[in-house]
Amino acid sequence: MSVPAPPALSIAGVGHAFGDRPALVDVSLELAAGSFTALLGQNGAGKSTLFALITRLYDNVSGEIRVFGHDVRRAPSAALRQMGVVFQSRTLDADLSALQNLTYHGALHGYRSGAAKARAMDLLRMVGLAHKAHDKVRALSGGQARRVEIARALLHGPRLLLLDEATVGLDMEARESIIALVRDLVAREGLCILWATHLIDEIAPTDRIVVLHRGRVLFGGGHNDLLARTGAATIRDAFTALIRAADAASAGGKRQQEGRQEETRQEEERHG
């Protein structure tokens, strides 16, 4: 009997707080290899915090995060080797060429100069930028710079790629071409993608969707499952319905708690 392959990413019961303010509460999700998942949440939902935990910028103190079966706390090198990341803020050196940015990164991953250059050129070709290899990043458009960042994230051959709001600040055409490129990586290279966004129009009917709101996962599943769950006709309406229901439940819970506290206070007063 063959052992089933582990998920590309599995997150179980993960929480995180900044001081006494919880940013993530009991977050669990699973991504299959070769799949595209949109992590959908408004600003402040906790998407970047989750990325920081997966990539070990922050240590997860509760719960467990595994990348292709490797626990990011117990086996960080094995987990990180399988993972590429494009963070929300730009991190290329604007005064180096696209190729230099990639070969420098390749050296950090232990590639020899010739091998790093060859690999970098292959990746620049893959993201449609071979003709810009020697241009300084400063001279590239926002969309082209993002493509270079995607190429750099793939340099060490990861099978899981995390992108945090990768289309922020790009015009519509650049946004669409970046998403098309990323979807192509799933179809052609079998990569697993976690695509964090607050933009509902970036979601396609074939995507898996995880809805994150105020640090909690409200939904995880397919496009049609989300419509069925909420009875909405569009993903936009379904998202709004989920969020309203969660906010109403949390306001109700808060009122109940305040009511209980008031009852306790009155009880204490009665008993002196």
Ligand X SMILES: Nc1ncnc2c1ncn2[C@@H]1O[C@H](COP(=O)(O)OP(=O)(O)OP(=O)(O)O)[C@@H](O)[C@H]1O
User: Interface residues with ligand X (CB under 6 A)?
Assistant: 18, 23, 41, 43-49, 165
In whole angstroms, the minimum distance from the beta carbon of 43 to ligand X comes to 3
In whole angstroms, the minimum distance from the beta carbon of 98 to ligand X comes to 26
The DSSP call for residue 2 is P
Q: Name the residue nearer to ligand X (CB basis): 44 or 157.
A: 44
Give me the count of residues in the chain.
Answer: 272
Element containing residue 99 per DSSP (H, E): helix 98-108
Cβ-based burial of 190 (10 A; exposed 0-12, middle 13-18, buried ≥19): exposed
* Helix-then-strand count for the chain, H and E: 8, 10
In whole angstroms, the minimum distance from the beta carbon of 231 to ligand X comes to 26
Q: Show Cβ contacts of residue 180 under 8 Å, excluding neighbours closer than 6 positions.
A: none
In whole angstroms, the minimum distance from the beta carbon of 165 to ligand X comes to 6
Q: Are 100 and 121 in contact (CB under 8 A)?
A: no
Q: Name the residue nearer to ligand X (CB basis): 68 or 219.
A: 219
Structure tokens at 227: 């419509």
The DSSP line for 202-233 is G--TT-EEEEEETTEEEEEEEHHHHHHHHT-S
In whole angstroms, the minimum distance from the beta carbon of 244 to ligand X comes to 18
- Residue 164 phi/psi, 5° resolution? -105, 105
Q: Name the residue nearer to ligand X (CB basis): 23 or 124.
A: 23
Q: Are 127 and 161 in contact (CB under 8 A)?
A: no
CA distances to 7, 223, 224 from 235, in Å: 26, 7, 9
Q: Checking DSSP bridges between strand 21-31 and strand 9-18, what pairing results, if any?
A: antiparallel
In whole angstroms, the minimum distance from the beta carbon of 41 to ligand X comes to 5
In whole angstroms, the minimum distance from the beta carbon of 212 to ligand X comes to 7
Structure tokens at 162: 């995390």
Q: Name the residue nearer to ligand X (CB basis): 47 or 147.
A: 47
In whole angstroms, the minimum distance from the beta carbon of 226 to ligand X comes to 19
Q: Which amino acid is at 261?
A: Q
The three-state secondary structure class of 28 is strand
